[in-house]
Structures are given as structure tokens and as C-alpha cells.
């Protein structure tokens, strides 16, 4: 067979009926996925620790009691998520260390800009919610991906812990949405 006749990886993954074949990854691929998984855990570990620092500032700049309460409640949840990530690292035989998460750093910077560009009140509160929901959506995407990686790698105990955090992030997003729709946005629009 000539080189040009060899199937490309995309063609090799699809059978003659147009369905995808499930191919077991090579040992190298599994090792690379685990390395990427660990690196991604370091990112989110940094991100969660950065949030532990940022959330009190957000809460102190909010004027809505419901928003302040939601942020402070999520601060407690976030502190537990940091501990849970430390357990994940332990289960994987890795040391818990963070690596700067550029995505979270950018989201936090955007949140700081909102605080600088608005005056205390409902519009600032709406901005805090918007910035917070962007953070939650980033975390939802991250924990969903990390949980899938853990399952693929056979790290079922790790997957359970990451799925628990994923559920908490989804809940935080719902709480923020409720605060926005039921109070803050209406007051900001007046």
C-alpha cells in the first residue's frame, strides 16, 4: 500500500457504515491524556484558590443582600472545593499545586473592571452577577471535562469528586440567575 492509500486517522475511526469505531487508546495516548488531566487540575486548583481571595471583594461590593448572601455562601462552597481538589490530587498520587489559569485570571480581571466602572447599586450588582456567571460557566465546562477525563482514565473515585463539584457549580449558577431575575435586574432597570 502506498502512503497516499493509508487511511487518515479520521477515516480509520469511521467504519464502512459511517459509524465511528471505538478504538482503545495506545499506552502513550493514555499517558498523554493523564498528563493533560493533571495539568488541567492544576489550572482549576489555582482558579479555585484565586476565587477564595476574590469572592470576599465581590461580596463587599454588592449592595443586594441576596447577592451578598449568595456570594458568601459560595465562598464556603469554594473553600470546600479546594479541599476536594486536594483529595483528588492525593488519590492520583500527585502533590496539590496550582498553575496560573489564564482563563480565570482574565475573568477575575473583567470582574475588577466592572467594579471600577460602576457605582455601588443595582447596576453594579447586575455586573457582579454577570461576571460571576461567566466564572461559573467556565467552572462548569472545566469540571464537566475533568470528570469525563477521570472516567476515561478509570479514575472513578476522582470522577465522583469532580462530579460533586460540577453539581455545586451548576447550583451556584442557578442561584445567581434567580437573584438576577427576581431582584437585581428589576431594580437596575428602574
How far apart are alpha carbons 24 and 124 in whole angstroms? 51
| 184 inside domain | yes
Which ranges of the chain would DSSP assign to H, the alpha helix? Answer: 9-12, 27-61, 65-91, 102-117, 122-152, 156-179, 185-189
| 81 inside domain | yes
The DSSP symbol for 8 reads P
| 93 inside domain | yes
pLDDT at 12 over 90: no
pTM of the shown model: 0.84
The domain total for the chain is: 1
At 33 the three-state DSSP class reads helix
Domain extent for 148: 26-189
% of residues, the chain, pLDDT over 70: 86
Closest CA to 132 of 174, 163, 80, 186: 174
pLDDT computed for residue 162 by the predictor = 98
Q: Which of 27-31, 43-47, 81-85, 176-180 has the lowest mean pLDDT?
A: 27-31
pLDDT computed for residue 18 by the predictor = 64
How far apart are alpha carbons 167 and 159 in whole angstroms? 12
CATH number, domain containing residue 90: 1.20.1260.10
Amino acid at each position: 500500500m502506498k502512503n497516499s492509500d493509508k487511511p487518515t486517522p479520521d477515516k480509520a475511526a469511521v467504519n464502512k457504515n459511517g459509524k465511528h469505531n471505538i478504538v482503545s487508546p495506545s499506552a502513550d495516548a493514555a499517558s498523554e491524556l493523564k498528563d493533560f488531566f493533571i495539568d488541567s487540575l492544576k489550572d482549576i486548583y489555582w482558579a479555585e484558590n484565586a476565587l477564595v481571595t476574590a469572592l470576599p471583594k465581590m461580596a463587599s461590593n454588592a449592595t443586594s443582600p441576596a447577592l451578598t448572601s449568595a456570594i458568601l455562601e459560595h465562598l464556603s462552597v469554594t473553600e470546600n472545593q479546594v479541599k476536594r481538589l486536594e483529595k483528588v490530587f492525593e488519590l492520583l498520587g500527585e502533590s496539590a499545586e496550582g498553575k496560573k489559569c489564564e482563563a480565570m485570571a482574565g475573568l477575575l480581571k473583567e470582574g475588577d473592571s466592572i467594579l471600577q466602572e460602576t457605582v455601588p447599586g443595582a447596576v453594579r450588582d447586575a455586573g457582579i452577577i454577570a461576571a460571576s456567571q461567566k466564572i461559573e460557566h467556565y467552572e462548569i465546562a472545566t469540571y464537566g471535562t475533568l470528570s469525563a477525563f477521570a472516567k476515561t482514565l478509570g479514575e472513578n473515585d476522582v470522577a465522583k469528586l469532580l462530579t460533586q463539584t460540577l453539581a455545586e457549580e451548576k447550583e451556584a449558577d442557578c442561584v445567581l440567575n434567580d437573584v438576577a431575575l427576581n431582584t437585581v435586574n428589576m431594580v437596575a432597570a428602574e
